[in-house]
């Protein structure tokens, strides 16, 4: 595995780098320590044409101005927490309310805008960060590591490890936007197969009610994204739903096919939830890889994570991390052709 490092710029006194991991077939992944983010994933189509299948920017400015978490590591708590607060052992903690009086992706203290330390290994790059006690309202000094490994089978493995010195909550994910057609069209023709028939019920602000319900029309069994949209007055309303899945390192929790390119992507994870977001509110103020500013439905996210608002629902899988415990989760994206 060839790993290259190049300077992207500075933010304050900290250096920001671009890391390129190239496998034996010359397919590659690019990462940056700004937000521990995925910058590009370049893999072949059915004709051998190598192209990038995630949204991103060709310069640091795009990431500094980004408001859509493009490619980023999201934490300390990914997704929403109702009323921007939660309790641990009867002590209430208050977070930044940055969306409809709720907290989303941890607000301004989120990891997507942090500059991580890094370590280059044989076939991986590991990013690390100390999130101090009280940042964003979260308790505990959290020591975090995010390791990206790229292999000759075109598999990108993301491993999360965290420890704390005070009981806290943790929910980490990657927020890459995928488009296997490489922007020749939007993502509506992509076909998905999700290994779940249940979703977390939410209100109009995407806050869970506490119920796990049948996915109904939102079930994906080799269906296109377009089939699942609601069309009203020429406006498309997409999906922002957490599917209840069985964590599995051997079988994919989601499979994606883009028929024109023949590209496929399979998702494996240790997490109990898969958040499908079809990019309804996607936008950028800087041109992306398509030679223009990004717009809704240019990319979709498959965010493996714990359920939204888990700290406020005792029936959801727990996101509490205690002292002397370790947070260990993984996400793997495997690319191929059909």
Catalytic residues: 175, 303
Task: Please state, in angstroms and rounded to a whole number, the distance separating the CA atoms of residues 47 and 51.
Answer: 11
**Nearest alpha carbon to residue 151 among 122, 173, 119:** 122
Residue 262 is classified by DSSP as T
* Residue that is written with structure tokens 């996210």 in the block: 301
8 A C-beta contact, residue 174 and residue 185? no
Strands 235-237 and 230-232: antiparallel
Confirm if 248 and 27 have CB atoms less than 8 A apart: no
Q: For the purposes of burial, counting CB atoms within 10 Å of the CB of 323, is it exposed (0-12), middle (13-18) or buried (19 or more)?
A: exposed
Whole-angstrom distance, CA of residue 65 vs CA of residue 234? 30
């Amino acid at each position: 595995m060839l790993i290259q490092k190049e300077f992207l710029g500075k933010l304050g006194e900290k250096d920001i780098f671009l890391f390129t991991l190239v496998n034996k077939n010359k397919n590659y992944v690019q990462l940056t320590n700004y937000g521990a983010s995925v910058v590009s994933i370049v893999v072949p189509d059915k004709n051998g044409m190598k192209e990038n299948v995630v949204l991103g920017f060709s310069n640091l400015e795009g990431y500094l101005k980004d408001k859509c978490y493009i490619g980023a590591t999201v934490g300390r708590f990914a997704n929403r927490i109702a009323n921007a607060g939660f309790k641990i052992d009867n002590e209430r903690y208050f977070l930044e309310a940055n969306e409809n009086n709720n907290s989303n992706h941890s607000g301004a203290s989120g990891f997507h805008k942090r500059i991580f330390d890094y370590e280059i290994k044989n076939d991986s790059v590991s990013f690390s960060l100390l999130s101090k006690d009280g940042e964003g309202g979260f308790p505990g000094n959290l020591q975090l590591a995010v390791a990206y490994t790229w292999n000759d089978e075109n598999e990108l493995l993301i491993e999360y490890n965290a420890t704390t010195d005070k009981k806290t909550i943790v929910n980490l994910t990657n927020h890459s936007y995928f488009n296997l057609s490489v922007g020749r069209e939007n993502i509506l023709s992509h076909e998905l197969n999700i290994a779940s028939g249940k979703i977390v019920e939410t209100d109009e602000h995407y806050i869970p009610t506490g119920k796990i319900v049948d996915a109904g029309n939102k079930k994906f069994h080799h269906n296109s994204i377009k089939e699942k949209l609601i069309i009203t007055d020429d406006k498309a309303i997409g999906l922002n739903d957490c599917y209840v899945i069985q964590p599995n390192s051997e079988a994919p929790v989601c499979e994606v096919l883009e028929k024109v390119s023949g590209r496929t992507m399979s998702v494996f994870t240790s997490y109990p939830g898969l958040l499908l977001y079809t990019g309804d509110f996607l936008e950028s103020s800087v041109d992306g890889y398509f030679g223009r500013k990004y717009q809704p439905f240019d990319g979709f996210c498959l965010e493996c994570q714990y359920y939204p608002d888990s700290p406020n629902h005792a029936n959801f899988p727990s996101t509490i991390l205690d002292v002397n415990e370790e947070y260990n989760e993984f996400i793997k994206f495997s690319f191929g052709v059909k």
